[in-house]
A and B are shown apart, each in its own frame.
Chain A
Amino acid sequence: QKEVEQNSGPLSVPEGAIASLNCTYSDRGSQSFFWYRQYSGKSPELIMSIYSNGDKEDGRFTAQLNKASQYVSLLIRDSQPSDSATYLCAVIPTGTASKLTFGTGTRLQVTL
Chain B
Amino acid sequence: DTAVSQTPKYLVTQMGNDKSIKCEQNLGHDTMYWYKQDSKKFLKIMFSYNNKELIINETVPNRFSPKSPDKAHLNLHINSLELGDSAVYFCASSPTGSGANVLTFGAGSRLTVL
Contact = CB atoms under 8 A, between A and B. Distances in A.
Interface of A: 32, 34, 38, 42-46, 49, 86, 88, 92, 96-102, 104-105
Contacts of B40: 104
Given A43-B107, A98-B50, A98-B55, 12 more contacts: A34-B102, A42-B108, A44-B105, A45-B105, A46-B104, A86-B41, A97-B100, A97-B101, A98-B100, A100-B101, A104-B41, A104-B42
A61 to B, nearest CB: 15
B39 to A, nearest CB: 12
Contacts of A104: 40-42
A4 to B, nearest CB: 10
Contacts of A101: 45
A88 B102 contact: no
Contacts, number: 51
Contacts of A34: 101-102
A56 B69 CA distance: 39
Interface of B: 31, 33, 40-45, 48, 50, 55-56, 90, 94, 100-108
A92 B94 CA distance: 14
A45 B90 CA distance: 12
Nearest to B108: A43
